Structure 1
């Protein structure tokens, strides 16, 4: 399901082109079809492995016992002295379910429960209540495939058929035994990536995709969708364990505990307003240009660009990003490349390439555990380069902050293990090798024993093993009833209530939309669909497997691959759409949104939704000091809005789709749209490099 016939779509049995930013509505149509039309869902899992039977009051909150209290019954011993994600062991009044045999309400873990009702309407203590499944089903009554067709452009018959095929492929009722435990066997899953959920209401998008998997019992089940952790430090810091209400203990903030609310804010990203989000770096576009409006009582003077390219990767008009970079008093970078952002640096400190350097980690492993050691295979091509670790230590030492840096690393990397801790007096410097030696010992001591030193990894390379089934799947005949998955997520309502109370007390000087905090997702439309009607097309961007954020286009072989593929040499448009616009293949065209503009050559393909223009990452570089890298007609992200109207106020996700209009240009544009670049200090001109 993709607006573009991607490499993955080309290998599929069927490609379903969809209007961008409507994937949630497609899935809502599928869920309606499964609930109402085909009646395919995993009832046993929803009752015992999820909270589909928890009784919900009309106000959306759990109906709870007034007398019986509970606490999470167990928790994993922390492996090592660090507890970055403390388990929520709060006492709570137990949620109720309806025993359909005894015809009465009971607490969810009552041992006398004979069966749990998923459907029906009941009265408990004078209040109308419905099981979560029924509550959601009622809310989705109007989300028919015919309704979804009008939003997604996917025919209703296709939505209904795909729902049926998906439900039948899940083989509900089948089981599989692994390592002495019997698990549901569900060989079907709905998987998604950034294009499906990087929109205004990203949290709702992600919720509905999870909801579909939960509906057929394929979430974290053999054959189904395997949740992926980031790797270390999450194995040691974020085990799956029960939380309040018999549900999984929520760990929504992947880089640590929920940040405390403060106002005025302590962060220039306004992280205080995103309690379960990820640091929204794009907010600098707003806070650094209007700090008073957003409550900032400080002004950042120094910017470090560490292996990133925010001007190229962040949304919003590029001229405004140029101004933000110019306004810093000092910009320094650690990187391998000159790019759109490092061009603004007063100094670039060159890191070493991966072939010249060390690393010890495991990153985003779905089915394995352990550590991999990357070792240099060649001496540094430029001996004056250093590994980034050592650069950071050198800088910290020079500004008198080496002890503070080592204190942070002791917490993040070594769990404050006293035997492995770095000296925080600031009097001793450690090499990268010495730090990796400690990491090897810490992680094998506390996570993957037996303890190994770096020499062992130099010889063996890794200690990776297949991840045991018990660490992947959480619901079996032996486990999971006290650690259910939230089919209905009351936790979101709690976070919303707490945030709204904090905002009200702080009296922040701008509106903050909390609509995205929902116990289950509704059909709220993304803001991108509300642009003026003259912007009648959707612009999307894409990359292929051989492109690494386009930095590797400086490699001649990669550049040649991109140049031989027409999809990476221009702006993709459906030929029928182009005909209506009076555009011929190869014409120079301008793509303009309400926020920015880019140019390029029209490339025709039937493999694009008729309402779309697609822009390859390979075509929109605007700065390079490498003769191999071909410059494009402007960065895609300059087309995107950067404001809270188009930012998900729950996750921090930024809109990845732009509404645009396209026209033929009578004369070819310059390679890069030239802009006025005012004189900067010392008479230098700062901005994009313009090739003559």
Structure 2
């Protein structure tokens, strides 16, 4: 990439001179105790003598982007190393990737098809597995699937989770469409409220941060790559950014690796909303700093708003109005004669008082002073002012940058929000307000800021850009889906902004359909990679739901909690054994060498399959063809892989193998005969995306970014109208629907809740985060003995419960004490205490998630604390608008007897 040229708005002093230097070069050992990292890195000698290196890619985190090579001697995989030629990880490898041999040769895996012989089901009940043939296993499953198809396809429930690794093929995303059921659940969804704001501001399912050009980064509960030891682009991008002087401010109850290269602001859990609201207050009411040009030309900030918070519209066309300062009157937003648009002031249109949306936003944060926020966050008012002033200065409003000959606005600052902030109470709005602050200085979709991760996909309505994935909550579609009885069990009719089906509502509706306005039962459940017993907080409810369903089957890797309730299990390949493709891109954090990187990874098993296992996709395809869904499967698969209209499109009348589909896809991407044979040798194919396609600012020229959240506000109005029309209330909020409707606000707005309300009894907060050897439990990490050794002996953040020294002293607790932690919601967990200054004084830290209860997993998986049982997803306690749950809770601690 060409060297970038920055054109400043004015001559300015920089406060980043010198910056923080990165001591360790890359992800390996980034969070491993000093002096021990060498145990995890590749030796210079290249490993064992002889053998063959087979190309592959890693599957042990949600960003499965790293190229690998597997050494095979006499048919046995003996070593894994990073592929030095792969542009993502460049030969490096994290502990998870290095430990994959234990995933391949895990003796606790399912080794052949099995069926249950014990009709009783429970977490502590032996299923009485009986090994059966493949023909018998598939015969049982296909017969049950045919019966539910013929009876009522709605009686099939599909559940997806991250499981032992991600499935990058189409059949997890398209399964319900192929089989005609509306019932879909996702076991990990409620704990991952990180999609709404990226869809609002960048028209992308997840966003990523351009640290290649960022100079001032504020993280709110977000892991940027170093904390998780990502060996691919994120860790390298952060290392490079720190080397050149990027300042990092970590706002989090826990001081992570990234804080060690910058500044740590310990925050009270649940206070993130107050922090970003006060930043907006300082920008707008104290510093009077904002990017007026961006707000006028590229956002709906100039749209005129009525007292009822709706757009003021032209009587003839129905289009939203703006105030033309030069003309001294209101015009439609797309009037070709528009002059300078008003951002402030009060006006009268059609006899009604109106104000620009920006004026409404400004007023909404007027009382959110740093002093007010200090009480909510535990961060001093003067610190909030200083951070905001630094952020405003380094935003360089008015500057441009030229990259590869393309001229773009240059705003090298970013507030990067993650799960730690977005999944506390008010979390969805916290993410929105954080991105609103970014937008106030023009730091959306431009170099150095927050950008899209998977390409902007949007439609334009009223001149405002909306992500296509939000189409189900466009008002006509939403109204059409709200009728009693509900057609599905997902709960998304009430939680109108949910990105995933609401797991607790789905499980509750299985147990008691009438309570959730459903008039049928579930006959067949098909979970794949899903473990709600660990991923969710309502374990007893999940048990009751799985016990009620007559038939449950899965394609499973290990004998986890979900498998304990299955009637038939088809054994799945390990991650290394799969024939699989995966896009080459960086999902979360990009640097200058990875922002334009694109392509595809390929892998297949480097050895003969260790056990009598299967490929998930092959099973789905065989079943779909057997049930007569072949034409639909082929058409949807062609659409998923963008093969429609090309020579590689699937013939509706033909039955394909998954390998044939992969061949067509690879040929369509790489061309020139680059199919499986070529990829088997090379492992990956990459190309560069034009720089203008990397930044949303270019694509978003067709519409305006919704800094005034009109769409969500209107969804709330329609929810209220639908509830009143049908005479229903959201389960758990009966008599409290005013609280529900208040969450659909178009403006920054603080609401107290069970997390922020004071409690003398529950005087601490429990918080949780990912650690490098255990990311989402992918790749069988929980029962991988090599990774458990890393967690327990090498990782700074091991499996102990962390407490601040002052908090421990106040309670008479010491390092190494065994303690019991009890939650305000009734749950509890037990563990060993670790006293550390890396925790906020009012919080307890729980690294990762441990404590499996399934008796047939490797015993190492049962070590650690079961954090999620401290949380609550009960009706009336989850986020009513999104269905997500708070990953923080008020707790109390005592020494175990």
TM-score by length of 2: 0.65
1:431 aligned onto 2:627: no
CA distances 1:127-151 after superposition (whole Å, capped 9, x unpaired) = 2221211111112110101011111
Distance 1:176 1:157, change over 3 A: same
> Which moves more between the two structures, 164-173 or 548-557?
548-557
Task: Give the equivalent residue in structure 2 for 1:204.
Answer: 429
1:2 aligned onto 2:252: yes
Which of 791, 799, 807 is matched with 1:569 structurally? 799
CA distances 1:409-454 after superposition (whole Å, capped 9, x unpaired) = 35544566596555666xx643220121233355x3xxx8889644
CA distances 1:515-554 after superposition (whole Å, capped 9, x unpaired) = 2222223112343334854222111122212213343143
Task: Give the equivalent residue in structure 2 for 1:620.
Answer: 851
Partner Cα distance (2:759, 2:683) in 1: 57
Partner Cα distance (1:567, 1:473) in 2: 35
Structure (1/2) with the larger strand percentage: 2
Task: Give the equivalent residue in structure 1 for 2:893.
Answer: 662
Partner Cα distance (2:766, 2:264) in 1: 19
RMSD: 2.8
Partner Cα distance (1:192, 1:545) in 2: 19
Task: Give the equivalent residue in structure 1 for 2:532.
Answer: 310
The answer on whether the counterparts of 2:406 and 2:691 sit within 8 Å (CA) in structure 1 is no
Partner Cα distance (1:369, 1:40) in 2: 35
Mapping 1:472-483, distance limit 5 Å:
472-475=694-697, 480=700, 482-483=702-703
Distance 1:517 1:464, change over 3 A: farther
| Secondary structure of 1:621's aligned partner | coil
The answer on whether the counterparts of 1:277 and 1:650 sit within 8 Å (CA) in structure 2 is yes
Partner Cα distance (1:124, 1:401) in 2: 56
Partner Cα distance (2:743, 2:804) in 1: 34
> Which moves more between the two structures, 200-209 or 396-405?
396-405
1:322 aligned onto 2:547: no
CA distances 1:479-536 after superposition (whole Å, capped 9, x unpaired) = 7554111111212222222332222223235445232222223112343334854222
1:223 aligned onto 2:448: yes
Partner Cα distance (1:553, 1:563) in 2: 12
Partner Cα distance (1:518, 1:616) in 2: 34
> Which moves more between the two structures, 102-111 or 287-296?
102-111
Distance 1:436 1:175, change over 3 A: same
| Secondary structure of 2:466's aligned partner | coil
| Secondary structure of 2:846's aligned partner | strand
Mapping 1:414-453, distance limit 5 Å:
420=648, 422=650, 429-441=655-667, 444=669, 453=675
Which of 468, 488, 491 is matched with 1:251 structurally? 468
Partner Cα distance (1:37, 1:509) in 2: 43
1:147 aligned onto 2:372: yes
> Which moves more between the two structures, 250-259 or 539-548?
250-259
Task: Give the equivalent residue in structure 2 for 1:651.
Answer: 882
Which of 558, 567, 574 is matched with 1:346 structurally? 567
CA distances 1:305-339 after superposition (whole Å, capped 9, x unpaired) = 211211100122x2333233222322222222222
CA distances 1:128-179 after superposition (whole Å, capped 9, x unpaired) = 2212111111121101010111111111111111111111111111011345
Partner Cα distance (1:313, 1:620) in 2: 12
Distance 1:177 1:489, change over 3 A: same
The answer on whether the counterparts of 1:278 and 1:651 sit within 8 Å (CA) in structure 2 is yes
Distance 1:438 1:607, change over 3 A: same
CA distances 1:327-354 after superposition (whole Å, capped 9, x unpaired) = 2322222222222222332333221123
Distance 1:253 1:350, change over 3 A: farther
Which of 859, 864, 867 is matched with 1:636 structurally? 867
Aligned residue pair count: 624
Partner Cα distance (1:520, 1:256) in 2: 19
| Secondary structure of 1:609's aligned partner | coil
The answer on whether the counterparts of 1:118 and 1:131 sit within 8 Å (CA) in structure 2 is yes
Task: Give the equivalent residue in structure 1 for 2:775.
Answer: 548
Distance 1:630 1:357, change over 3 A: closer
Unaligned 5+ segments in structure 1 are: 70-92, 230-234, 667-692
Mapping 1:37-56, distance limit 5 Å:
37-56=286-305
Partner Cα distance (1:271, 1:421) in 2: 34
> Which moves more between the two structures, 638-647 or 281-290?
281-290
1:272 aligned onto 2:489: no
Partner Cα distance (2:320, 2:473) in 1: 28
Distance 1:303 1:384, change over 3 A: same
The answer on whether the counterparts of 2:799 and 2:846 sit within 8 Å (CA) in structure 1 is no
Ranked by relative contact order (alpha carbons within 8 Å, sequence separation 6 or more), the top structure is: 2
Which of 300, 323, 334 is matched with 1:98 structurally? 323
**CA-CA distance at 1:656 after TM superposition:** 1.0
**CA-CA distance at 1:282 after TM superposition:** 3.2
Partner Cα distance (2:565, 2:313) in 1: 58
1:599 aligned onto 2:830: yes
1:493 aligned onto 2:736: no
Unaligned 5+ segments in structure 2 are: 1-250, 588-594
| Secondary structure of 1:213's aligned partner | helix
Distance 1:424 1:328, change over 3 A: farther
Task: Give the equivalent residue in structure 2 for 1:589.
Answer: 819
Distance 1:618 1:519, change over 3 A: closer
Partner Cα distance (2:290, 2:525) in 1: 52
1:172 aligned onto 2:397: yes
The answer on whether the counterparts of 2:410 and 2:447 sit within 8 Å (CA) in structure 1 is yes
Partner Cα distance (1:661, 1:545) in 2: 28
Mapping 1:504-519, distance limit 5 Å:
504-508=724-728, 510=730, 511=734, 513-519=740-746
Task: Give the equivalent residue in structure 2 for 1:286.
Answer: 508
Task: Give the equivalent residue in structure 1 for 2:72.
Answer: none
The answer on whether the counterparts of 1:414 and 1:420 sit within 8 Å (CA) in structure 2 is no
Task: Give the equivalent residue in structure 1 for 2:363.
Answer: 138
Partner Cα distance (2:671, 2:294) in 1: 35
Partner Cα distance (2:637, 2:783) in 1: 34
Partner Cα distance (2:875, 2:645) in 1: 42
The answer on whether the counterparts of 2:580 and 2:604 sit within 8 Å (CA) in structure 1 is no
Mapping 1:104-119, distance limit 5 Å:
104-119=329-344
1:392 aligned onto 2:642: no
